[in-house]
Structure 1
Amino acid sequence: MNTTRTLIAATLATTGFAAHAADLKAGEWDIGIGGIVNAYYTHTRCSGSQTVGGVALASKALGCGGTDGRTVIGNGLLPNALTTTAKTRQDGIDIGATLMIGAAVASGDAISNNNNVDVRQGFFTFGNADMGTVKLGRDYGLFGKTAILGDMTLIGAGAPVSATQRNRVTLGHIGSGYTYLGTYGQLAYSLPTSGGFRATVALMSPVDAGTLVGRNSPQLQALATVEFGGGKAWLGAKSQKFEGPANTGFTMNGVELGASVTAGALGLSANLQTGKGLGVLTDGDSGNRKQTNLLLQATWQATAKTKLGLNWGESKLKDGVASDLRSNTNLTAGLYYGLTKSVTLVGEVSRTTSKPVSGSDAKMSGVALGGIVFF
């Protein structure tokens, strides 16, 4: 599977438009070149308590980049990216390769991003309709993949967290609705597609979380999807053992369940993740705490070119001391206008709240205006 083109197709499905990569022939190889470029003017304003610990997205430290308010012109949830693909068929085997190189728009100075390269994908695949497909290399994870691809803010900004948008991207609903799907070195196997059923299992290169390390065994992820008239449903899972000093290690375990349906102009979706050690932004970053992530979304295709959307997400942790993070929530309303089949203009307003285990909340108001082009 070409994950980047799948991502582009799924992203553009939120606006109803399509993009076309350049396809070339080089001997027995078909070469495809495509990409994404986007930029958003974002402004955040932070208020409320600044004593919320952990990854509190609405705090001044993260949401407003250390100030009461921050203006950034940078990427939304997607980076700028150039993707090259190659595919051929040899001896009855379909072979493919993908390399994606990305870059960020904004930085804290006028020099840093001149050499800041974001390489998320570099993998090859082989297989056919009978044997299924094997993938080797670096690619996005499976857990959380369907949630983020279906998030309307994928082509916008969602929570325009300034601390991440400067030098990288905004967060959409990462940390406030789902944990980031991540990019991993991996060995994955996808079963042959049967009707509307697809399933993939993967061994991921284990990752570290602070002083905790993934040392002796790989991370395991799996995702199954079934499509039906007007929608689809999915089930995912992931697990990894983290080792740490003084018996601080633990095993991360998570399950994910979601569904989306379309009825005429109306689109509805829901995604639930639950487990231990999932992390707010990434695997294990909140330690051995139980966590629930929930994302709810409704969109309306108002006209052939205009889509309206509203989504709400929450990432909630159990246990912890008074100042520890209890939850991040984000509510985003968006308007997505297809100027052409390749260019989408976006306007979003959002409200992010970070709650501690006890005490007052931190709040961040955000606005994002800009656009994205797929080619």
Structure 2
Amino acid sequence: MAHKKPFLFSTLLAASVCFPLACPSIVLADDYSDLLDILRAKGSLTQHEYDTLLSKHIHRAAAPQHVTRTAEHTAATPSARRVAARTTSHPVEAGYEDGIRFDPGQEESATLRAQNAADRAEASARSAQQAMLSTQNALNSSSVVRVAKYVPGKGLTFKAGPVDINFSGFVNGFYTYNSPAGGRPVAGGVSTGSSGFDSSSVRNGLLPAGFILKLSTTQSGIDMSAVLGMYPGVNNAKNGAFNANTGGSPVGLGTAGIDLRQVYVTFGTKEVGTFKVGRDLAIFGSDAILNDATLLSVGSTGSNAAPGNTSLGRIGVGYVYADWIPQISYVSPTYHGLQGSVGVFQPLDQFNFAGGGLSAESQQHSSPMVQGKATYDFAIGGIKTRLWASFLIQHHQGLTSDTIAESDHRSAMTEAGEIGAKFTYRNFQGVAYYYRGSGLGTTALFFDGVAANGRKRSSEGYYVQAMYNFTKKFKLVGSYGVSNLYQAPGENDSMLVRRNQSEVGAAYYSLTDWLNLVAEFAHTNSAAHGGNHNSDNSGSGGVILLF
């Protein structure tokens, strides 16, 4: 459209000149820089055309010019008389051009106009800067609540002055069909194979639902936080030794259990490390469960006919459950990938999970449980690796059983250790884990860890897992795990579980950053020392939403 600008300019110029004066023969020049400004603002002139015309105009205006009259008969016309009158009241001096007549108004030099424009621009900039600073101060006020940038999987964070309020969680639900493959009962086994009945359920997986509230701030140079985590399930709760994790009760008028697993505070600095006081996931066994792919699915079902708050996943078939335990613990800063943690924990009882008087129990504790761990993160040749090793120690006093009287004052010192590794290379991820304990038991901490005769049982287990991401949304996982419980010296209990094992295959598809579809198959087998064994197969499909 640039080729039309000279024509438009000449047209507007001619109109501005000829229309008011009906194109008289006598015309007077005037300052038309304002007209040039208007034409440039309307886009009729390019910057180059504007600069050229303005320069030419200023140059011509610098030399005085004279107005000549035309034919006398033209001067006699009314138009001519009006022009002459205007010329008399406003003598034509320097700054006018032939053929153009404008009311000069108040004369103003180009330099003065430029200075005025600069002053106005400076004032506008100062005003804008003041408005921006005022807005920033208002946003940084402790009375304003802001929302931090959302990061998938990290929850929602609100900033209220110096306090960060983070709300995160997950919700899941699965349809699970369990088919017993038969066999005879195993005391302390995790397979449902001897039940004899197929079962269907709509249930939670290894995770229940979770709603975690975290408040964080820094005061006097100390970073601190308070955390409250609630983990309700979808199935009816039933009172029992394991509270919300006890097998459920699929009876009308039932309600889900409320599971407040997390209640703790942290405080520390980047240089010193972080202290934790309250109830949270313990140290020993935590990496084993957090790296278990069945955390997002079902795994071994446990009681599928009457589902509890969760399934078992790979608990008892590859590792001992870490559990959520009251604690005072410490995590060091990370130094070249190396980090350590240690803590004292509420001591737990030895528990006769197998039943039938097969295991001793304890309820006396004069000293706390102690746990510690070291982790090391590094990368070699594009392979990201995490190694970890941890230990557990607890003294159990006042052991009792059918053959041990309370007056015998029998006690046992439990010791356990674990080691694990996680490897990530491009789309592949692998996990390998092993544990061994004396008096540790199997499935959960101190389940059947001490025989009825008061002697400790040894136990060990492991699992291996491989995961491959075919796309950013689709991945397949396969895992195999075993947990072994050995008899104590002098013990011969044929019904006691000797081995729990399972194979799990699962597919995961991410519909969105929040919503994931899961399909899974699991085979679980339990075997006793005396030869009894049973097994079951289960298929599960459902969704898990994490935010």
C-alpha distance 333-214 of structure 1, shift in aligned 2 (>3 A): farther
Query: 1:291: which partner in 2?
Result: 459
1:322 lines up with 2:494 in the alignment: yes
Contact 1:234 1:259 in 2 (8 A): yes
- SS of aligned partner of 2:288: helix
2:525 paired with 1:353:
yes
Match of 1:101 among 230, 233, 244: 230
**1:42 aligned to 171, 176, 179, which one?**
176
Q: Which residue pairs with 2:419 in the alignment?
A: 257
Partner Cα distance (1:261, 1:329) in 2: 23
Equivalent runs, 1:1-375 vs 2, <5 Å = 18-53=152-187, 55-60=188-193, 66=195, 68-107=197-236, 108-114=250-256, 116-162=257-303, 166-210=307-351, 211-229=361-379, 230-243=384-397, 244-245=399-400, 246=404, 248-288=410-450, 289-319=457-487, 320-375=492-547
- Aligned partner of residue 180 in structure 1, secondary structure: coil
Contact 1:197/1:227 (<8 A) preserved: yes
Amino acid across the alignment from 2:312: L
Call closer, same or farther: CA 1:110–1:167 in 2, change over 3 Å. Answer: farther
Aligned to 2:132: none
Matched residue, 2:10:
none
- 1:40 Cα deviation (Å)? 0.7
- Of the two, which has the highest radius of gyration? 2
User: RMSD in angstroms over aligned alpha carbons?
Assistant: 1.7
State the Cα deviation string for residues 62-104 of structure 1 (Å, max 9, x = none): xxxx552211111101110111000000111001111001111
Verify the 8 A CA contact 2:192 2:302 in the aligned structure 1.
no
Q: Please say which of residues 25-34 and 325-334 is displaced more in the overlay.
A: 25-34
Which shifted more, 93-102 or 20-29? 20-29
Could you list the structure 1 runs, at least 4 aligned residues long, displaced by more than 4 angstroms after superposition. Answer: none
TM-score, length basis structure 2: 0.62
Structure (1 or 2) with the greater strand fraction: 1
Alpha carbons 1:214, 1:241 under 8 Å: kept? no
Structure 1: how far apart are the matches of 2:254 and 2:482?
A: 33
CA contact (8 A) 1:113 1:167 kept: no
The whole-number CA distance in structure 1 between the counterparts of 2:215 and 2:305 is: 32
Counterpart contact for 1:79–1:102, Cα < 8 Å: yes
Query: CA offset at residue 303 of structure 1?
Result: 1.4
Closer/same/farther in 2, CA of residues 265 and 164 from structure 1, 3 Å limit: farther
Q: SS at the partner of 1:249?
A: strand
Superposition deviation, residue 60 in structure 1: 4.7
- Structure 1 residue matching 2:255: 3-state secondary structure: helix
The CA deviation string for residues 105-146 of structure 1, in whole angstroms up to 9 with x for no partner, is: 1232243334x1001100000000111111000000111111
Once residues 486 and 505 of structure 2 are traced to their aligned partners in structure 1, the CA distance between those partners, rounded to angstroms, is 28
Deviation for aligned residue 1:163: 5.3
- Gapped regions of structure 1 (runs ≥ 5): 1-16
Q: Give the Cα separation in 1 of the matches to 2:433 and 2:440.
A: 15
Contact (CA 8 Å) 1:214, 1:240: kept in 2 or not? no
Kindly state the Cα deviation for residue 333 of structure 1 after the two structures are TM-superposed. Answer: 0.4
Shift of 1:214: 4.7
Greater helix share, structure number: 2
Residues 39 and 214 from structure 1, CA distance in 2 versus in 1: closer, same or farther, beyond 3 angstroms?
farther
- Secondary structure of the 1:314 match is strand
Q: CA–CA distance in 1 between the matches of 2:363 and 2:413?
A: 11
- Please say if residues 72 and 162 of structure 1, whose CA atoms lie closer than 8 Å, have aligned partners that are also in contact: no
> How many angstroms does 1:260 deviate by?
1.0
Residues 307 and 336, structure 1, Cα contact 8 Å, conserved in 2: yes
TM-score (norm 1): 0.90
Amino acid at match of 1:269: V
One-letter amino acid matched to 2:484 = K
Whole-angstrom CA distance in 1 between matches of 2:340 and 2:308 = 35
In the TM superposition, residue 368 of structure 1 has moved relative to its aligned partner by: 1.1
Cα distance in structure 2, aligned partners of 1:213 and 1:242: 8
> Is this contact kept in 2: 1:329–1:352, CA < 8 A?
yes
